[in-house]
Structure formats: C-alpha cells, structure tokens
Structure 1
Amino acid sequence: MPTPFNQSVIEEFRANGGKVGGPFEGGDLLLLTTTGARSGKETTTPLGHVRHGAALLVIGSNLGAPHHPDWYHNLLAHPVVRVELGTRTFQALAVPARGARREELFAHAVKAAPGYADYQARTTRLLPVVTLECAEPEGWEAPREITTLAGKLMEVHTWLRGQLRQVKAETDAHFTARAAHRGPGTPPVPGLGLQIRQRCLAFCQALEFHHTSEDAHLFPGIARYHPHLTDTFARLAAEHRTVARIQGELAALLADIGITDPERFRAELERMSSALNAHLDHEEEQLLPLLADVPWPPTAPPAQPLDPTD
C-alpha cells in the first residue's frame, strides 16, 4: 500500500492530468505501478524521471537510504510495469542498467536533476538506474487506434516478435563481448546479462498471459459459434504447451548466462524462436479472418427492455 503522502500525490496526479504541487511542483513526475515480488499485488509509486531518447529513466535513490526501494525489487521479479505519464498510461519494460551503461545513464540523470548525486553521496550502495521502454508498438507517441480483435491480436503478436528479436540481438552482443575478452581473470560483465534476463522474463510472462487468455476465454468463445474449429483450437492449445516447455528450458539456461555455453544458448533461443514464430503464423492464419469484424475494445451487450408483464 502507498504511504499516505504517496497516496495524496497519486490522487492529485490523476485528478490534474499529471500535474502536482508541493515538493514535486514543476518536476517531471510519473506513476510507476509494479507487481509485488512476493505478494503479487500491485503497488503504485510516484517517481521523478529523466528522458533519455525514447526511454524514461528512474533512479532507485530511496532518498539515499541504505536499501533499494521496494519497487526496484518488484520489477526484477516482474519486468513489465505500468507507467502513468501526464494523461497517458502505458505498459513498459523495466531494464536496470549495469557497468559502463549505468555510469553513462546516471551521469545523464545527474545533469538533468543534480539531486541524484546528493542521494548517491549519502549511501555506499550503487543507486539503480532503470530504463522504462514503452512496451507498445508506437512507443511514447499517440497510440494507433485499434478497432477490431484481429488488430489487437496482431498488436500482441508484433510485440512478442519484437521482444524475441531484441533478446537475440542482446544475446549476440553479450557473447561477443565475452569472446573479445583477453588477459587474466574473468571476463568483464558487459552489463547485458541482466538486460537479457529482464527481456526474456517479460517476454515469457507476457506470452504465458496471452496463451492463458486464449485458452480460457478466446478459444472457447469462438468455438461456440464455430464448432468445426474445435480441432484447430485443440492443436493451438497443444502448441501453447510445447512453447511453455521450451520457455522453461530457456529460462533455466538464462539463469547461468554468465557461464553458459554460447552455442547451446543460441541453439535453444533459435529453437524457441522458430517454434514460436511458426505458432504465431498458424494462429494468425486461423484466427484473423474470424476476428476481423469483432469490435475492440469489447462492447457491452445492449440493455434488455423491461417486460411490462413481469
């Protein structure tokens, strides 16, 4: 639960289109909603932010306290967060920076808001620097209007494919940096290990939610009107289980990405990518024609008139 002070800031932020007074007046503020690492409950926290290209930066300063803030631990367990910025709300991928990348971003944040340097001086811990990457195709710009369930399905599939491509690119960069290390000692950590972990974790959690929603709601709903597709939905559900198994195997490898064999990891990632893309292709072939005329967001059924004889 937010503190009484934070709750008052949250209410003022939402009531005034992202503008607040008091100590935050004139500052760049956002609301970050994370999922509890242990409780699984959502918590919203007002935070200052700094823009950096297409991303937003938030700093785990905790006012210079000796421990990281709770929201930081939460996003390590659940990387997909919700961001309220002005009058808009987004899903975002939270990726902590490491090594030289963290130093570069922290310097950028301090230049924009010098108070972060004061917070760092108060504690021996390294203040986390987290980038919030918009998890929607349009980024932080105005969203493209989606009017059908087919469009919504393609939006989700496009995001999943994009995340998988980025995992591959970051994996290649990680292993290239390891291979380039020369000299005694262990290879320097290029800072991508945590980034890959966050993206893989977000991808897997989003895919699991997407498949669970399809199996529990979308497929049964369509099957009621198209019983001849029962076998098709059974095949798609079986593919979901296969993809989930591959996800688990990849996650096990990911836990040891600092020491895992690069070729084995790449082979597993390629196997998963091929299986997932084939599944998405097949799902689109089967479902898009059926969903093309289904409105999105869902419309409530019209109210039934009262029967005067009742």
Structure 2
Amino acid sequence: MPTNRTSENPAPASFNQSVIDEFRANGGKVSGPFEGGDLLLLTTTGAKSGASRTTPLGYVRHGDELLVVGSNLGRPRHPDWYHNLLAHPVVSVEIGSRQFEALAVPAEGARREELFAHVVREEPGYGEYQDRTTRLLPVIVLERAEPEGWVAPREIRTLADKLMEVHTWLRDQLRQVRAEVEAHFAAREAHLAAREAHFAASEDHLAADGGEPPAPSLGLQIRQRCLAFCQALEFHHVSEDSHLFPGIAQYHPHLGDVFDRLGKEHRTVARIQNDLVTLLSGIAIADPQRFRAELEEMSAELNAHLDYEEDSILPLLADVPWPPAGGPAGERE
C-alpha cells in the first residue's frame, strides 16, 4: 500500500506530530509501519487560516521530479493540504535532512494520466484508492520554486545586494510566466488554424468526427507560478512600505518626493496584482485574453518601478551590511 497513509488517514494530530518529530530527529527515517518508505514532510499555508500545516506524505520519483498524490484513501473529498497548495502554491519540502521550497503544480490531462500510471507502477495501492472514488486523484509535481535558469546575482553582503536579489527574482519570475502565457496563445492559434483547415477540407467533419477537441486552456502551471509571483510581490512591497522605506526616510528626509512616487507606484502595481489574483481565483483562469493584457500591464509597470527604485534607493544601501547584526538573514526578505 502507499506509504502516504500517515497523511491521508484522518489520524489524531498527535499521531501525525509524532511521525513529524521522529522524521526530523532521525534525518527523515521513521519506524513502525512506515519504516523504509519514501516519506517527505510537506508544509503548506492554510487556504483560510494562513497558518503553516505540516503533513507527512509518501512520494514517488519520476526522473528528477517528485510526485505526491491527493488520495485521501479514496474518500470523496480532496485532502486539506491539496486545497492549501492551490491557494498558496509555494510549499516547503523536507526529505531526509534537506529542506527546500517548491512550487506545487497539479498535473493535467494526458500528463496527469502518464504520471499517475507511473505512480501506480511504483505503488499499486494508489490504483486501489482511485477505484474507491469517482473523483480524479490529483497528482502534484513538486517543482523548483525558482524561475528556470535562476542564478543569484552575486554574494549578498549589503542591503543593496539583498534588494537587488529580490528584484532579479521578481523580474525572472514574471518573465517566465509571460513566456508560458505566450507559448499557450501560440498553441491556441495553431489549434484554431488547424481547425479552420480541417473545416475547409470537409464541411461535414463535425458530424464525421463526433466533435473536436477544445482549444487548449491556460493551465495550472501558469496559474500556480503566477499566483506565487503575486504573493511574493505583495509580501515584498508590504515589507518595503512597513519597514524599509520608513527606515531610510528617517536618514534622508529630503527624499520625500522619491518615497511619495514609490508609494504611488506600489499602489498601481497592487491594483494590477489584485486584478490578476481575481482572475486566478478558480482552478481555471478566467478570461484568458484579459489575463494576458493584465500581465503585460504588470510587466510594464513593475519593471519601470524597479528601475526607478534601484536608481534612487540602491546607492543609499550600499554600505548597510547584510544580514543585519544580531539577526539571521531571510530567504528573500
């Protein structure tokens, strides 16, 4: 049977916590019925509560990918952690003594079928769970959270370096989302062109074929990455407004106009970000054309804002050491 029954079983919280404690105390090894199984700890952010929730889960490797399945022992409902990662796509993963951030992306369509078949070959019990329910068991790929090709700018020694690292990450994340969206629209246009060609060749093709496949939709890969970007951007700007900018303003009161402009730009970006999050509120992205337009507006506004902030603020932070004395450095703030 699959080794993730610890997480899927609605066992008392104390039982799951004992598994978590043993896992962390022994470098990922646990005893009892789970001994020798492939087990990880998945920490998600509660969809409603916003609190961190850690769940022991069995996993299956597929090449370099890590797969987890929302089986819930074949029950009618998806497990809570699945709803959490749809709301907050960036998760924390612990395997052995290693911990890292990942982007959780549910597989779709033919890819989901391929991955689930692989999972069942490795752990046949998941097939039994699928047989118990009419819902499709989600197969979630735990991908690297960083954008493809991400390289940290350089060694982080000053607050200016840290701010530049955050800006570079945001730019790269937005660039990757835009590239995935443009690839989607190219595929969609190719589909429509093929449809028109097929229609021209045979006016009766719909009756003969029994219908046609729908145009490709914006997928969960795009949704999850864009939502993660929006949440990281909001955190960054709230941190600047609450801490960074007021701290700098105390020492540079003559820069009031600069901070007024930065605050106004934050509000503009926040409006676009909120529009994007609204379009991402469901599993399927609402209004793909509007989503594309909002993403382009975000790119123009955010990049112009980051350029201005770097020109006006970075020189003031070049001599401020990072991490600050007496406190650990954050991952990205």
State the TM-score, normalizing by the size of structure 1. Answer: 0.83
Within a 5 Å distance, the mapping from 1:168-207 to structure 2 comes to 168-179=178-189, 180-181=191-192, 182=195, 184=206, 187-188=213-214, 190=216, 192-207=218-233
Q: Is the aligned partner of 1:271 residue 2:297?
A: yes
Change in Cα spacing, 1:67 to 1:145, as seen in structure 2 (3 Å) is farther
Gap change, CA 1:119 and 1:261, over 3 Å in 2: closer
Letter of the 1:208 partner, please give it: E
> Which residue, 255, 274, 292 being the options, matches 1:248?
274
Q: Would you say how many aligned residue pairs link Structure 1 and Structure 2?
A: 299
| Aligned pairs (5 A) from 1:49-198 | 49-136=59-146, 146-179=156-189, 180-181=191-192, 182=195, 184=206, 187-188=213-214, 190=216, 192-198=218-224
Whole-Å Cα distance in 2 between the matches of residues 45 and 140 of structure 1? Answer: 28
| Alignment partner of 1:298 is 2:324 | yes
Task: Assess if the C-alpha contact under 8 Å between 1:30 and 1:85 holds in 2.
Answer: yes
CA contact (8 A) 1:95 1:195 kept: yes
1:212 correspondence with 2:222: no
Which SS does the other structure have where 1:133 is aligned?
Answer: strand
What corresponds to 1:282 in structure 2? 308
Aligned residue for 2:256? 230
Pick closer, same or farther for the CA change 1:146–1:137 going to 2, 3 Å.
Answer: farther
- Which amino acid counterpart does residue 221 of structure 2 have in structure 1? Q
Cα 1:175–1:39 change in 2 (3 A) is same
> What is the alpha-carbon distance in structure 2 between the residues aligned to residue 47 and residue 147 of structure 1?
38
Counterpart of 1:31 in 2: which secondary structure? strand
- Amino acid paired to 1:204: C
Question: Which string of whole-angstrom CA distances, capped at 9 and with x for unpartnered residues, describes residues 175-208 of structure 1?
Answer: 3343305375575364643222222221111111
User: Cα gap change, 1:296/1:116 in structure 2, threshold over 3 Å: closer, same or farther?
Assistant: farther
List runs of 5+ in structure 2 lacking aligned partners.
1-10, 196-204, 328-333
1:193 and 1:101 map into 2 onto residues whose CA distance is: 12
Counterparts of 2:122 and 2:155 in 1: how far apart (Å)? 34
Counterpart position of 2:287:
260
1:125 is displaced (CA, Å) by 1.4
Normalising by structure 2, we get a TM-score of 0.78
C-alpha RMSD of matched pairs (Å):
3.1
Stretches of structure 1 lacking an aligned partner (at least 5 in a row): 302-310
| Other structure's SS at 1:205 match | helix
Show the counterpart of 2:17: 7
Shift, 1:161, TM fit: 1.8
How much has 1:156 moved relative to structure 2?
Answer: 2.2
